[in-house]
Amino acid sequence: MIYRKEILVRGGRGGDGCVSFRREKHVPLGGPDGGDGGNGGNVIIVAASNVVDLGWMGRRKEFVAEGGRPGAGWRKRGRNGKDLVIPVPAGTAVFTKSRSGDQVLLADLIIPGQQVLAARGGKGGLGNARFVTPVNQAPETATKGELGERQEILLEVKLITDVCLVGLANAGKSTLLSAISRARPEIADYPFTTREPVLGVVGGQVRDFIFAEIPALVKGAHLGKGLGNEFLRHVERTKLVIYLLDGSSPTVREDLNTLENEMALYKGLSSKRKVVAVNKIDLPEVAARLPEIKRSLAGLGLPVFYISARTGEGVLELTRKATAIVEEIGCCEDMVAELPTAIFRPKPRQ
């Protein structure tokens, strides 16, 4: 799956104006009748419910809208170019580059149907009928259509989820997701089996909830180590984070500190609501150390659950608590109302 892509968009070129004169029988002084050219099409980026990632773009880098048609005689105006609509997943942030090279947010497309004008089409040229004056009754002048706007665009998809499972390698995130939903992520006895986010739907009494497993974090993920930046951005829109800890790790508390530090250092994600779950309590060595683990996690101020994703022990209680917190936080529409509306900052035409 592709969640980040840089593209070049261009509005359609405007159609040229027409130089034409009436040549009818019995009309010796018909005069100029050249029509205007049509406007070029715009490039519009829209959030679509049937698009899950940016993979449909393939290797395509440039997107150009249709140009306007030239004008014609009899003051006929050229047809406008069709707008080019680029569908992206809901949750896509659209950036462009400023003159200084910095990224500028054009729009945050959260709800399907939201859209932003990424590049305007050029205006059509004027036909010679526009240039008639008392002095010049037969102008042979028309103007060319303008070029469409050119923009360098960065598309960055951030998944919209209710709950995100975050943990180090081998914590059992895939096993837990498969236990609570119909998702079937790859599960194996080696680390980093998950290479891209996996979504699962968990049924609730009022509505369904979307759980997401992001690939394992490593120390320094906020700096991009282990592709951390690629994954942590998907946590930005979630309502609740479940820190899943490997109970068989000799440093359970240190593992939690690592996760908290990485979340805090990446755009302050530590402010998210959190729940801690210690996995693999079905293993004898973990069961023997459970009192020690509980003492190390005492005083966190966070709900802590001790579970076995493999046998299901404690999983139902964890899921119920997670869905209750999500319902307490509120629905996605309430979150969207606080987000900035789509903004378009046009550049001078090039």
Confidence of residue 131 (pLDDT cuts 50, 70, 90): very high
* Number of CB atoms found within 10 A of residue 179's CB: 19
Site of tokens 């998944």: 159
200-252: pLDDT as tens digits: 888 776 678 888 887 766 564 444 444 445 567 778 888 899 999 999 999 99
What value does the mean pLDDT take over residues 142-167?
A: 91
Q: Which fold has domain 4-157?
A: Spo0b-associated Gtp-binding Protein; Chain: A, (2.70.210)
Q: Which two tokens stand for residue 278?
A: 């210690």
Measured between alpha carbons, how far is 236 from 229 in angstroms, rounded to an integer?
11
Residue 190, C-beta contacts closer than 8 angstroms, at least 6 positions apart:
none
* pLDDT score of 183: 66
Q: With a cut of 70, say whether residue 349 has pLDDT above it.
A: no
Q: Which is more confident, 303 or 26?
A: 303
User: How far is Cα of residue 188 from the mean position of the Cα atoms in its chain?
Assistant: 30
Question: pLDDT above 90 covers what percent of the chain?
Answer: 52
The domain ranges of the chain are 4-157, 163-336
163-336: CATH architecture: 3-Layer(aba) Sandwich (3.40)
Which of 317, 164, 188, 168 has its CA nearest to residue 252?
Answer: 168
DSSP 229: H
pLDDT tens readout for residues 157-196: 887 788 989 888 888 888 898 888 876 655 545 444 445 6
Q: Rounded mean pLDDT of the chain?
A: 84
Is the predicted pLDDT of residue 341 greater than 60, yes or no? no
How far CA 32 is from CA of 73, 124, 134, in Å, comes to 8, 18, 13
**Would you say the CATH fold of 163-336 matches that of 4-157?**
no
